[in-house]
Amino acid sequence: MIENYAVVNKTDNLIPIVNTKLKGKKGIEAALLYRMNSSTEIDSSILVREAYEQFYNAPIPESADTIFNAFIPFMDFCRSKMIRLRRQVPNDKREEYEFIYDNLNLIFYRYEDLRQLFDKYFDLMYSFSNFMPVPLYFNGSKNKLGKGTWKLNKDYPSEYLKNLKDENSDIYKRKEMYDWLSRNMDLYRIRDMYKLEPPYPISEYYGYDDSKLQALIYFVKSAIELIEKRFEG
């Protein structure tokens, strides 16, 4: 059997592998270009679906999840900095990505270390080590609440787990999803990933000063380490 590229190279950024027009791109740049353009979804691409089947020796799953979403803390930081610099941030999502892409040097002026961390985080975000097969609607949808529901969890795994334990959260098939996740924590090696708390409460934003900077750095470093070590041993 020819081993799947994603399985062999578990921590490689798969954006330029799945979307060859982005070959040579990496980190923040690759992630923003991926979102700005009509690109094949990585976590549910043929490459990754076949990787799931090969690695777990099981049928191709109904859906897929990107466990840690680097865009959540990244976009919050960028918006805060641009507002502080009195720059008007576009409301349209694609235009916002373009705006941030064009202003990366300004946003991260004197935050070079944080920029390097986000580069690493985004590379790992789109690696096999940050993906997992999940039941249909695990992430929710327009009319169903799930892991990707902003007001409930902002796509943070630990917050989603709290939702699943909360009888009043209205998560779609809450008990079934909780039972499924509990059964598969060790199979998918995600137990520690689901323990990592957000850098600050999801009701809060980064803000206009740097009082949350160290918490943000700690979170990004922790997420990087968890993804890198997920399949070790």
Per-residue pLDDT of the chain (233 residues; tens, 9 = 90+): 689 999 999 999 999 999 999 999 999 999 999 999 977 889 889 999 999 999 998 777 788 999 999 999 999 999 999 998 888 888 899 999 999 999 999 999 999 999 999 999 999 999 999 999 999 999 999 899 999 999 999 999 999 999 999 999 999 999 999 999 999 999 999 999 999 999 999 999 999 899 999 999 999 999 999 999 999 97
The whole model's pTM is what? 0.96
* 182 contact partners, CB below 8 Å, separation of at least 6: none
pLDDT of residue 1: 63
| Residues 169/145, Cβ–Cβ less than 8 Å | yes
Domain boundaries defined on the chain: 5-228
Q: What is the C-alpha separation between 203 and 128, in angstroms, rounded?
A: 30
Output the pLDDT for position 211. Answer: 97
Residue for token pair 């990505």: 97
C-alpha 218/C-alpha 199 separation (Å) is 8
Q: Is 219 exposed, middle or buried (0-12, 13-18, 19+ CB in 10 A)?
A: buried
């960028």: which residue's tokens?
78
* 217's tokens: 């750095």
Task: Identify the pLDDT of residue 59.
Answer: 75
Measure the CA dihedral 213/69/54/229, to 10°: 10
